[in-house]
């Protein structure tokens, strides 16, 4: 194959579409096969076995939708879904808003922009496990924020989200935002830099206030950037797992459980593959329900401008 991969790519007189860029196509065959076998094949296998009563080892002993019945009757799964919704809404709204505002502020040709950008992006260099541990300590009432404020004199100050069942998911969201907004800010900043300087000049000549220019001219022009950002954030929401494990391990009780953790725990800890597969199929389904109509609107239909 290496002999094929010569730099002579300019066979423009070839009539057949199929053979255009043949080198590239041949080279990508292994990857296509891998993707088909691993992603599509693996998904089909998982869905198939979610209808069985497989325990520790996969077995084709079909029980219909029993696993799904059990799943939706399990309080822990329902709590997980609720948590995912809250976490999802918070991280979607806040990372977009905070990310964009930070980017807009950095875009004001301020001094030390590089320094600020580095500071804001830095948390993204940390893994979720490290982020989770750092915030576990910060939010611990005995030696975290609460302790510091109390030592300053406000002795009745109370801030222990990770130990309070009703707000623990917000404590986790704070850590996720701290880690993730830097990246969103950078993407937004790149988008802002892509806006032609003339547009700003024209807006200024017309006397449009800056906030209006951002809201009604710049943001609509940044649509592709927003879509990229949305996909990145959404993927992060559905797969959230390690952050929860590091911060609370799902506690207190089951108050901060998430679907991905349910899947892992039931597949490996409870040795019940069927139940784990059913849960992961539900996760896939929820992603499909969100992605497919959107992808259809975005990529299907007629091409836009």
Residues at the site binding other proteins, with contacts judged by CB under 8 A: 55-57, 70, 74-76, 140-142, 163, 165, 248-255, 265-266, 268-272, 275
Question: Of the two residues 141 and 284, which places its CB atom closer to other proteins in the complex?
Answer: 141
Question: Of the two residues 67 and 179, which places its CB atom closer to other proteins in the complex?
Answer: 67
Whether the CA torsion 194, 197, 201, 202 is positive or negative: it is: negative
| Closest distance of CB 64 from other proteins, Å | 16
SS3 for 76? helix
Other beta carbons within 10 Å of 300: 10
Beta strands in the chain (DSSP E): none
Whether the CA torsion 123, 126, 129, 135 is positive or negative: it is: negative
| Closest distance of CB 76 from other proteins, Å | 5
Distance (Å) of CA 293 to CA 90, 97, 286, 287, 289? 22, 24, 12, 11, 7
The answer to whether the CB of 177 falls within 8 A of the CB of 131 is: no
Question: Of the two residues 268 and 296, which places its CB atom closer to other proteins in the complex?
Answer: 268
Question: Of the two residues 84 and 222, which places its CB atom closer to other proteins in the complex?
Answer: 84
| Closest distance of CB 243 from other proteins, Å | 16
| Closest distance of CB 84 from other proteins, Å | 17
Query: How many whole angstroms separate alpha carbon 198 and alpha carbon 138?
Result: 46
| Closest distance of CB 277 from other proteins, Å | 14
Angle at 95 between CA 89 and CA 98, to 5 degrees: 125
Which structure tokens are listed for 128?
């979720």
Question: Of the two residues 122 and 137, which places its CB atom closer to other proteins in the complex?
Answer: 137
Question: Of the two residues 46 and 74, which places its CB atom closer to other proteins in the complex?
Answer: 74
Query: How many whole angstroms separate alpha carbon 87 and alpha carbon 240?
Result: 9
Question: Of the two residues 127 and 249, which places its CB atom closer to other proteins in the complex?
Answer: 249
Burial 83-92 (b: 16+ CB within 10 A, else e): bbeebbebbb
Question: Of the two residues 186 and 273, which places its CB atom closer to other proteins in the complex?
Answer: 273
| Closest distance of CB 56 from other proteins, Å | 4
The answer to whether the CB of 248 falls within 8 A of the CB of 162 is: yes
| Closest distance of CB 266 from other proteins, Å | 7
| Closest distance of CB 250 from other proteins, Å | 8
Q: Which residues fall within 8 angstroms of residue 260, CB to CB, at 6 or more apart?
A: 238, 239, 240, 241, 283
> Any idea which residue has 């296509």 for tokens?
32
> Measured in whole angstroms, how far is the alpha carbon of residue 35 from the centre of its chain?
21
């Amino acid at each position: 194959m290496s002999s094929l991969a010569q730099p002579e790519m300019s066979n423009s007189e070839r009539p057949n579409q199929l053979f255009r860029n043949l080198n590239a196509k041949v080279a990508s065959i292994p990857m296509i096969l891998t993707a088909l076998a691993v992603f599509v094949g693996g998904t089909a296998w998982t869905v198939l076995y979610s209808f069985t009563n497989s325990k520790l080892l996969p077995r084709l002993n079909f029980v219909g939708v029993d696993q799904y019945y059990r799943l939706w009757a399990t309080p822990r799964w329902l709590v997980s879904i609720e948590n995912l919704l809250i976490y999802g809404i918070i991280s979607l709204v806040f990372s977009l808003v905070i990310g964009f505002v930070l980017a807009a502020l950095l875009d004001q040709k301020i001094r030390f922009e590089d320094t600020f950008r580095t500071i804001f992006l830095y948390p993204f260099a940390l893994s979720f496990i490290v982020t989770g541990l750092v915030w576990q300590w910060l939010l611990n009432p005995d030696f975290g924020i609460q302790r510091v404020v109390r030592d300053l004199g406000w002795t009745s100050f109370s801030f222990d989200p990770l130990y309070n069942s009703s707000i623990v998911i917000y404590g986790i969201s704070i850590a996720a935002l701290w880690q993730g907004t830097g990246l969103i800010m950078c993407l937004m900043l790149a988008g802002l830099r892509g806006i032609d300087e003339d547009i700003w000049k024209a807006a200024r000549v017309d006397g449009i206030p800056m906030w209006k220019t951002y809201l009604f001219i710049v943001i609509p022009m940044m649509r592709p950037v927003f879509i990229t950002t949305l996909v990145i954030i959404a993927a992060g929401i559905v797969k959230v797992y390690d952050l929860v494990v590091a911060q609370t391990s799902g506690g207190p009780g089951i108050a901060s459980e998430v679907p991905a953790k349910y899947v892992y725990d039931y597949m490996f800890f409870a040795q019940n593959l069927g139940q784990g597969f059913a849960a992961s199929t539900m996760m896939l389904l929820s992603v499909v329900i969100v992605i497919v109509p959107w992808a259809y609107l975005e990529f299907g239909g007629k091409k836009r401008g």
